[in-house]
């Protein structure tokens, strides 16, 4: 026997051995996929008049489910046509009609799933009780309000929330807890009512107080600007959450202009006068608090005399109980508080003049001269 024949018989022997080790089986060639049917709930508890959804799943795809509503007589619950269908599930609406128990069965071919529906009498809300009768807030604050429902086993615990006044109920949930947002200074009424047709409700008074401005401060006491040029003066309101943060700008004396540059006026653009000048700019909050700044308009071509408050013919000094003023020529005297309020005004003749004032810091204007003077 040649070497080639020997090799052939050897290979055939190996193939027969492999075939014997793995016998052919028709059952292994094709396996049937097991049908699965499932309802999302084993038990569905409802009260009379309630509607709820019930979803059934089937795998592999079963486009048509057969629902078997094994109801007692008279009818305890019924199934409405599906809300939605797809190849793997269907959603039906179940409505409870009267107390009792029934079984809903869904079938795909010979495979079935069951859900027990238990219907109980509807228990209406007997009373509602908000945990607080009065809520006090500041503008911009929020508060969480919780309601107690009696009895605790009421069938339908959904609540409706509303307000009369400026306060607002945040969100759209119908739960027992809601967040209330305050308005501006306002007194509002919060009303919570049961949605189960019982007509039960409770109320709460919401009192919102405004947060007043406690302090207004400018970022400069004195500022210098060239003729016809601009600069910016800023006001800061404290506390930062004050209700009304608007600022009004006025020029108490002098020829400069102060124009608000934002919506609430907390910054002002200063426009220098057309000639060298000294002015008093006053910022006032909506609550009446003030601060002021001396604005000196400088002639850029004549800076040595730009500080127009320097005038050797005028001398102003703070003394005990008032102000001593000396002028060598007729002049006009105006005295302002730091808030811009006019404290004193008169026409001066040459010589010395004592003006009685309370202790404090004042802005003294003699003609175009402006100075801050401390009276002890």
Instruction: For residue range 149-181, list pLDDT tens digits in order.
Output: 999 999 999 999 999 988 888 887 777 888 888
Class of domain 36-120: mainly beta
Q: Alpha-carbon torsion 117, 118, 120, 126, what sign?
A: negative
Per-residue pLDDT reduced to its tens digit, 323-349:
888 888 898 998 888 777 888 999 999
What's the mean pLDDT in 99-104? 88
Domain 215-304 has CATH 2.60.40.1080: yes
CB 281 within 8 A of CB 206: no
Q: What is the CATH number of domain 309-375?
A: 2.60.40.3080
Phi, psi of 238 (to 5 degrees): -130, 140
What HEC string does 89-106 produce? EEEEEEEECCCEEEEEEE
What is the structure's pLDDT at 265? 83
Tell which wins on pLDDT, 231 or 261: 231
What is the structure's pLDDT at 109? 77
Least confident window among 72-86, 146-160, 214-228, 259-273 = 72-86
What is the structure's pLDDT at 18? 43
Q: Do 215-304 and 309-375 agree at the fold level?
A: yes
Q: Alpha-carbon torsion 78, 82, 87, 88, what sign?
A: negative
pLDDT tier at 77, thresholds 50, 70, 90 = confident
Asked if residue 2 has pLDDT above 50, the reply is: no
Cα–Cα distance, 249 to 282 (Å, whole number)? 6
Asked if residue 9 has pLDDT above 50, the reply is: no
What's the mean pLDDT in 102-123? 87
Domain 127-209 has CATH 2.60.40.1080: yes
- Domain assignments of the chain as residue spans, ordered by start: 36-120, 127-209, 215-304, 309-375
Tell me which residue of 340, 371, 374, 369 sits closest to 357, measured CA to CA. 374
What's the mean pLDDT in 194-200? 92
What is the structure's pLDDT at 122? 92
What b/e readout covers 105-120, taking b as 16+ CB neighbours within 10 angstroms? bbbbeeeebebebbbb
What is the structure's pLDDT at 201? 94
How long a stretch of residues is the chain?
376
What is the structure's pLDDT at 133? 92
- The tokens for 260 are 């608000």
Torsion of CA 370, 372, 375, 376, to 10 degrees: -160
What is the structure's pLDDT at 134? 92
Tell which wins on pLDDT, 13 or 242: 242
pLDDT tier at 74, thresholds 50, 70, 90 = low
pLDDT tier at 4, thresholds 50, 70, 90 = very low
Asked if residue 120 has pLDDT above 90, the reply is: yes
């Amino acid at each position: 026997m040649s070497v080639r024949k020997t090799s052939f018989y050897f290979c055939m022997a190996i193939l027969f051995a492999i075939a014997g080790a793995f016998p052919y089986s028709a059952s292994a060639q094709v396996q049937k996929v097991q049908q699965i049917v499932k309802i999302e709930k084993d038990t569905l508890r409802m009260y009379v008049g309630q509607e709820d959804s019930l979803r059934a799943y089937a795998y592999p795809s079963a486009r048509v489910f057969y629902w078997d509503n094994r109801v007692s007589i008279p009818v305890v619950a019924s199934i409405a046509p599906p809300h939605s269908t797809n190849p793997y599930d269907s959603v039906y609406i179940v409505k409870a009609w009267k107390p009792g128990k029934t079984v809903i069965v869904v079938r795909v071919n010979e495979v079935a799933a069951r859900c027990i529906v238990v219907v109980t009498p509807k228990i209406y809300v007997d009373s509602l009780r908000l945990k607080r009768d009065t809520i006090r807030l500041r503008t911009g604050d929020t508060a969480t309000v919780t309601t107690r429902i009696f009895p605790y086993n009421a069938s339908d615990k959904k609540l409706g929330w509303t307000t009369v006044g400026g306060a607002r109920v945040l969100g759209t949930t119908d739960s027992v807890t809601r967040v209330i947002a305050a308005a501006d200074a306002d007194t509002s009424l919060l009303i919570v009512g049961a949605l189960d047709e019982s007509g039960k409700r409770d109320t709460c008074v919401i009192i919102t107080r405004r947060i007043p401005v406690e302090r207004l401060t400018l970022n400069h006491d004195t500022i210098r600007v060239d003729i016809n040029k601009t600069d910016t003066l800023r006001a800061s309101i404290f506390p930062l959450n004050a209700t009304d943060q608007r600022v009004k700008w006025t020029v108490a004396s002098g020829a400069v202009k102060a124009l608000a540059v934002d919506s609430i006026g907390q910054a002002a653009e200063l426009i220098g006068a057309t000639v060298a000048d000294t002015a008093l700019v006053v910022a006032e909050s909506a609550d009446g608090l003030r601060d002021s700044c001396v604005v000196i308009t400088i002639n850029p071509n004549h800076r040595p005399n730009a500080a127009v408050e320097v005038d050797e013919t005028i001398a102003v000094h703070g003394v005990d109980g008032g102000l001593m003023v000396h002028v060598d020529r007729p002049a006009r005297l105006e005295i302002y508080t730091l808030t811009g309020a006019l404290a004193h005004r008169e026409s001066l003749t040459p010589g010395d003049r004592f003006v009685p004032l309370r202790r404090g810091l004042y802005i003294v204007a003699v003609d175009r001269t402006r100075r801050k003077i401390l009276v002890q």
